[in-house]
Structure 1
């Protein structure tokens, strides 16, 4: 099983040396890191298991000033090697790093006591007991413990086998999405390839030639090349460190914190979030404050407002960053390096004022963890909206209907149908699916399913892409104001009714209603004809004309007696209706008309 693991622990406790002993690769890649013997940015290495699986290892900086770089690594880890030096013992930043791991809900840890060759057994036991007390306090767990020496090699093989055993017995992985996604932690240009990004790939595989979506920006990008652990690939597997060469992508469009996804619908770009706070990690948050939000590999400042008795916080970000629902995040002290809050993103869109109190109550008590994140999201959507998109591997919730790719409550489905009926039976009479979606506030995909079902039941009917009720079609009566306008249009005859010269109040709505009822025909320049008159004019123009025959405006004028003012809009309408096509200054018949 492929996996990506990482180190954590105080500065100078031997994390980089441990990785080199495990893999034979020194993870430092910056010259200043090697010169100062201190990790500054994320470092990377890997080893291959006996069954040829790759275990990637991320080396994180231990110094307080680089805590943000440490946080960037944690989002995609399957297991943490928590490093404590035997000679120094537990230190200040050990607590801070454990705080981050606990807040990000990472359960798989190995306590690695390094530099075991420098102390005696009694000291090793003291460091182990002290470290385990911290794990119990912060994480309510006892991790596996192993003593090693990177200098002599003692314990390294045992640690490698323990890592393999832990990876092979991992609980079900928490995924932000069940398709491929990668938060960018490095970006650079490669000659002959172009813009290249690296990160931890999760959720699903990526193939050369795949089209992904880059956020921010919602840019469609094509995968030109793939590399993982120094090997060129046609297919990159999830749970691996992956470099992706992107075709024809401007280097300026991607930065650390950008996110590549196979399914763009899973990502939300918003500056207004609601976060369910973890009470164990948010006691230092003030009612109102400026904080730094760390999510994925992105960092952004935000105004933070704590409410609902400390259970929720509203975050107003200075700029939108890509986020998944239920994603863990950390809140870092603005201008400092301390973790002052943690939680999960539970709302990423505008809030209907009518539902605000209901939403607060639901979000405050919603149970979200790594095992039930998708179920929790569905329950929230059903409680607030009454519908939810189906999720792979999730059983249909109780008291819902399966409706196309959706789950919907019977009450919501009936209410949506009634709202559409009411609108269609008003003065509007006919509307597009897009208009009904805008009026009701429901997704257009749901409206289209409702329309399909209603048409099959012969309750609705589609005419020229618009929807109307059958009862409207059966009712031959029209309102008096519409009848008066229809009479005026009929009186205008073949000259047409020029709507631009009328002073009738609400003329646009009346014309639209008559058009939707197919009683009149609109043309360009606000010229309208009754359907009967329009058919008569078309008959005069098209009579006895054969397929591919061409005629001029003068020919049409000769057979109708109309001026160019009427003919040009009428000929353009003929073209729009598919009877003719324009060829230079003439029209060519593409469908024969039967009078």
Structure 2
């Protein structure tokens, strides 16, 4: 168990820790000279019942509240100290408020210097303390008079702490390892040592860790837990880790850094959070209000962005966005405190909700629903609620990382969700939502085919936008690919259809199409005849020929690359493959219209028309006279495999084509 002191300056916190442990926590020369604590102090003791308790002694002076905050973030039990001669003082109130904001729910109060007060004075101070604690998490906490000088009440305090330590027990070591750093120093012969409180998980000798937010990799050479050599340190322990690795030096690691499992390294500088403003605050919190944010042992300047229309008044709470001056390493659910920029007062505090807060649409109804879901106290409840909020899916790997969940915990969450791709994917959906999405996709395809029997299918993006649930396009494609593997739909490039859907020409159109098709897929395919040429060829009439070709376009057989210039879909796929080959032979994957013209031998004008068509569809990206392929759109026109291509390969497909031309 980790016990943290709290209380006003010169109320005897360090003396009480010394009486309990025999350790003088004022280690600095300046502390001894001035008789006050300036930095954090640490002491340990094994009690007669076997309980090993660590004590964090914090400064009481108002100038060192930031140091007090660095020590209070990882404590299990608060030891609030009030001197009998002074009673409750300003930093007593501020420290208590900070404990409340940090979520410390257990503690007791020691009335120190009890030897200087009579029974009447002790009773008056006790009444004052009870009034102070009313309405807080420590309301009803035991109050014990003690004297570090005479030893009065110290034995009773020892018994209470030992008893509480057994009641609290060890924290669960589940989750991934995180330790906040409050000291970093060099030991001769060992190297860099960092100390702090383990917030979650466990670490062993030889484990690889990362120092975040800097991202320095390191290996744990040795461990001390509760000031004793150990093979492992786990949640709730005060640990000293001897770290080794390239770049691991004293100056490279500072108070506020986190030593953590490498899988958790994902610093953030924009966080959505619950914020409660203390009733003692003197002014409302307005838009972009500047503060100092304290999280674990870190301190960073930040701005508060309100997600509501009205300022937050003293005593009120709400959801805000915290925009930090520099990134920190944090986890969803972590507690924080904000103080004013002059470091004179504590303003409020709360709990982190989302570490990946958006800069835009942060006040939309969908975003509010997501934040309401993330406010659930436990990750499992938060995930369940999040899956019922738009967009009704969650990146499970990111969720697990941002909540420091271990593999076993993540696997347990996976049991109650549908993963995309099925079974292994990172995207999670609630089973009921997945069923509704699947039913809507199939129903929308049935309806579309009934209304458009001459269309080969519906465009992927149009189908996505028709649904009540609209996953991001890459996720939607994964969903469709899964349904295709199950035989429920068919994908043909950008078209989606039901497997049994077949589009056919009427008998008269089929006859004319059979005359036109060889010219679109044979030796002329890279420079096919235009509409007027087909009209003259078939005797159909130019307008009727145009209508037939547009019908073929709706059926997915051809695409109108330029006005009255139609290319077979399979030929466009062939052209894309040719461009891939051209790009693979250039250093930056770039090519020109002339490169395509030379490979296809179809003339500059036609090659430019083809490339401009591909530009419009995002298959190619143009920069001046150069183009490159967009890898995310290469499947837009499907594969080259088709019955139309049962022929001899063209010269453009042969790798020795250029050489052959030069020698001809």
- The normalised TM-score by structure 1 is 0.73
Which range is displaced more, 406-415 or 200-209?
406-415
Q: Please tell me whether the aligned partners of residues 214 and 258 of structure 1 are also in contact (alpha carbons under 8 angstroms).
A: yes
The Cα shift of 1:184 comes to 1.1
Counterpart pick for 1:222 among 216, 219, 224: 219
Structure 2 partner of 1:255: 254
- Structure 2: distance between partners of 1:212 and 1:566: 60
Q: Please tell me whether the aligned partners of residues 294 and 330 of structure 1 are also in contact (alpha carbons under 8 angstroms).
A: yes
- Structure 1: distance between partners of 2:490 and 2:383: 33
Counterpart pick for 1:43 among 41, 44, 47: 41
| CA separation of 1:297 and 1:248: change in aligned 2, threshold 3 A | same
Q: Please tell me whether the aligned partners of residues 222 and 247 of structure 1 are also in contact (alpha carbons under 8 angstroms).
A: yes
Q: Please tell me whether the aligned partners of residues 417 and 429 of structure 2 are also in contact (alpha carbons under 8 angstroms).
A: yes
| CA separation of 1:70 and 1:452: change in aligned 2, threshold 3 A | same
Structure 2 partner of 1:323: 330
Aligned residues: 519
The Cα shift of 1:168 comes to 2.2
Structure 1 partner of 2:429: 408
1:563 aligns with 2:659: yes
Q: Please tell me whether the aligned partners of residues 454 and 460 of structure 1 are also in contact (alpha carbons under 8 angstroms).
A: yes
Which range is displaced more, 454-463 or 87-96?
454-463
| CA separation of 1:351 and 1:537: change in aligned 2, threshold 3 A | closer
| CA separation of 1:172 and 1:514: change in aligned 2, threshold 3 A | closer
The Cα shift of 1:456 comes to 3.8
Q: Please tell me whether the aligned partners of residues 292 and 331 of structure 1 are also in contact (alpha carbons under 8 angstroms).
A: yes
Q: Please tell me whether the aligned partners of residues 208 and 262 of structure 2 are also in contact (alpha carbons under 8 angstroms).
A: no
1:209-241 Cα distance to aligned partner (Å, 9 max, x none)? 212233213444322222223433321232111
| CA separation of 1:498 and 1:473: change in aligned 2, threshold 3 A | farther
Q: Please tell me whether the aligned partners of residues 276 and 364 of structure 1 are also in contact (alpha carbons under 8 angstroms).
A: no
1:506 aligns with 2:613: yes
1:383 alignment partner, SS class: coil
- Structure 1: distance between partners of 2:635 and 2:232: 58
The Cα shift of 1:472 comes to 12
- Structure 2: distance between partners of 1:174 and 1:376: 20
- Structure 1: distance between partners of 2:66 and 2:237: 22
1:202 aligns with 2:199: yes
Q: Please tell me whether the aligned partners of residues 419 and 440 of structure 1 are also in contact (alpha carbons under 8 angstroms).
A: no
Q: Please tell me whether the aligned partners of residues 305 and 314 of structure 1 are also in contact (alpha carbons under 8 angstroms).
A: yes
2:11 alignment partner, SS class: coil
Matched ranges for 1:304-319 at <5 A? 304-308=304-308, 309=310, 310=312, 311-319=318-326
Which range is displaced more, 343-352 or 199-208?
343-352
Q: Which runs of 5+ in 2 are unaligned?
A: 313-317, 446-455, 462-469, 503-554, 562-566, 579-594, 621-628, 642-646
- Structure 1: distance between partners of 2:339 and 2:657: 79
1:383 aligns with 2:389: yes
1:209 alignment partner, SS class: coil
- Structure 2: distance between partners of 1:449 and 1:426: 16
- Structure 2: distance between partners of 1:232 and 1:462: 64
Q: Please tell me whether the aligned partners of residues 400 and 407 of structure 1 are also in contact (alpha carbons under 8 angstroms).
A: no
1:336 aligns with 2:343: yes
1:26 aligns with 2:20: no
- Structure 2: distance between partners of 1:499 and 1:170: 81
1:142 alignment partner, SS class: coil
Q: Please tell me whether the aligned partners of residues 104 and 329 of structure 1 are also in contact (alpha carbons under 8 angstroms).
A: yes
1:166 aligns with 2:164: yes
Counterpart pick for 2:354 among 323, 347, 351: 347
| CA separation of 1:442 and 1:196: change in aligned 2, threshold 3 A | farther
1:506 alignment partner, SS class: helix
Matched ranges for 1:62-81 at <5 A? 62-81=60-79
The Cα shift of 1:114 comes to 1.3
Root-mean-square deviation (Å): 4.6
1:283-316 Cα distance to aligned partner (Å, 9 max, x none)? 5443142111111111111222345353233322
In our comparison, the structure showing a higher alpha carbon Rg is: 2
- Structure 1: distance between partners of 2:72 and 2:24: 20
| CA separation of 1:378 and 1:150: change in aligned 2, threshold 3 A | farther
The Cα shift of 1:75 comes to 1.3
2:59 alignment partner, SS class: coil
Q: Please tell me whether the aligned partners of residues 226 and 233 of structure 1 are also in contact (alpha carbons under 8 angstroms).
A: yes
Structure 1 partner of 2:533: none
The Cα shift of 1:46 comes to 0.7
1:143 alignment partner, SS class: coil
Structure 1 partner of 2:8: 10
| CA separation of 1:131 and 1:514: change in aligned 2, threshold 3 A | closer
2:389 alignment partner, SS class: helix
- Structure 1: distance between partners of 2:2 and 2:603: 68
1:17-42 Cα distance to aligned partner (Å, 9 max, x none)? 11111111111222211221211111
Counterpart pick for 1:105 among 103, 106, 125: 103
Structure 1 partner of 2:466: none
1:292 alignment partner, SS class: strand
Which range is displaced more, 331-340 or 177-186?
177-186
- Structure 2: distance between partners of 1:34 and 1:532: 90
Q: Please identify which structure carries the higher strand content.
A: 1
2:115 alignment partner, SS class: helix
- Structure 1: distance between partners of 2:471 and 2:375: 30
Structure 2 partner of 1:148: 146
